[in-house]
């Protein structure tokens, strides 16, 4: 494994437990508007939301439009009368209050920050949510002002423009070989790294399926990620 200087780390489901935060926010939202938070109702929302985010990764819908559209479609599917923008804002407020980390995330960032320059790179059309969750977590001190939120940048992962702006801000434009992208999403993190000709590590969770884009390295959990970056030796080297 080559030596790297900058680590561009994804936030949700890489360091933060977004599934827990989303469960908290969605349950609170449904209860607030008098809807029973059944597994069926939540599964319906997730199907709609995931499809919209997939479309966003492909450039078919903007992230801003996505946030309102998900509840419009949820209302249609459930026969609900409501204000989709109001629902979305309430949901985002709840989401911003949940900063649960994945096990081992804080310890990993502490170790890595002693050797690498860490940058947080996240897709979020609501920057206040991402910033509030980071500020209320113990991870903020490891990233400082190296926080790149798509909603503040006018572009998002996997677009090359997003990574170009990140590299320029970090002073790493001419040092791509020293940059490593780390994330759980093939369609945004790994695809974005590929588009920008950057090395990458795919944090592959058990339910994730391989796709047409291949990372440089693959790990199954944060412990393996730490072993890869600290010891420079790991069996999951893909190219």
179-183: strand order across its sheet: 147-149, 117-122, 6-9, 179-183, 199-203, 217-219
Rounded CA gap, 16 and 100, in Å? 6
State yes or no: is 220 an active-site residue.
no
Rounded CA gap, 179 and 163, in Å? 11
Rounded CA gap, 219 and 234, in Å? 9
| Radius of gyration in angstroms for the set of CA atoms belonging to the chain, rounded to a whole number | 18
Q: Show the beta-strand stretches assigned E in the chain.
A: 6-9, 117-122, 147-149, 179-183, 199-203, 217-219
Q: Quick one: CA torsion of 125, 122, 206, 43, rounded to 10 degrees?
A: -10
Q: Which residues are catalytic?
A: 10
């Amino acid at each position: 494994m080559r030596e790297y200087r900058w680590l561009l780390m994804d936030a949700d489901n890489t360091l933060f437990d977004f599934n827990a935060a989303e469960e908290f926010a969605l349950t609170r939202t449904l209860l607030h508007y008098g809807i029973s938070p059944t597994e069926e109702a939540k599964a319906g929302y997730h199907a709609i939301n995931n499809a919209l985010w997939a479309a966003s990764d492909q450039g078919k819908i903007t992230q801003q439009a996505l946030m309102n559209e998900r509840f419009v479609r949820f209302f249609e599917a459930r026969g609900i009368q409501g204000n989709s923008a109001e629902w979305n804002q309430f949901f985002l407020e709840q989401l911003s209050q949940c900063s649960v980390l994945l096990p081992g995330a804080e310890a990993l960032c502490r170790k890595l920050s002693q050797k690498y320059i860490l940058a947080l790179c996240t897709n979020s059309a609501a920057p206040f949510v991402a910033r509030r969750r980071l500020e209320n977590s113990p991870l903020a001190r490891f990233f400082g002002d190296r926080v790149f939120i798509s909603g503040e940048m006018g572009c998002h992962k996997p677009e090359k423009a997003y990574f170009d702006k990140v590299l320029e801000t970090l002073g790493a434009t001419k040092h791509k070989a020293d940059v490593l992208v780390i994330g759980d999403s093939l369609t945004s993190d790994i695809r974005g790294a590929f588009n920008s000709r950057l090395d990458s590590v795919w944090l592959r969770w058990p339910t994730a399926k391989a796709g047409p884009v291949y990372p440089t390295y693959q790990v199954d959990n944060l412990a393996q990620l730490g072993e890869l970056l600290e010891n420079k030796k790991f069996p999951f080297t893909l190219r």
